[in-house]
Amino acid sequence: MDKLIKHGRVIRGALGISGEPINQVVAQILNLPDMKGVLVTGVDPECSAARAGLAPRDVITQYNGEDVPGVEMLLDRIAETPPGTRIDMVIIREGKTQTFPVIIAEKINEPE
């Protein structure tokens, strides 16, 4: 409500990825320590995630210092983050843990 009053519209953060929960099969294939995190299944080449270097098959395990248990939590945190904010994402790529700084973009609402 505060964003609507201040800006005349709701402003949400965006990252430019699609993802899915980690299941037992994915955890085994990617040799993950557990089933926490979000498997990146797609990256919009025009968005923040691509500019930061995220790629399909990365597993996001932390968002700005907070563990990512699943998709809903990650989507909520991204939407709540003001556009232009720099956050750190911890990912597992090919069995190695890496940290990527990402600048959150503004989610563009498509007209109906």
Alpha-carbon span 28 to 31, nearest angstrom: 5
Alpha-carbon span 68 to 32, nearest angstrom: 14
pTM of the model: 0.85
Let me know if residue 112 belongs to a domain. no
Tokens standing for 95? Answer: 């069995």
Instruction: Using DSSP, state whether 105 is helix, strand or coil.
Output: strand
**What kind and span of H or E run contains 86?**
strand 86-93
Cα→Cα distances 100→23, 29, 46, Å: 24, 23, 17
Residue-wise pLDDT for 48-101, tens only, equals: 999 999 999 999 999 999 999 999 999 999 999 999 999 999 999 998 999 999
Residue 24 structural domain: 2-106
- CATH number of residue 32's parent domain: 2.30.42.10
Instruction: Using DSSP, state whether 17 is helix, strand or coil.
Output: strand
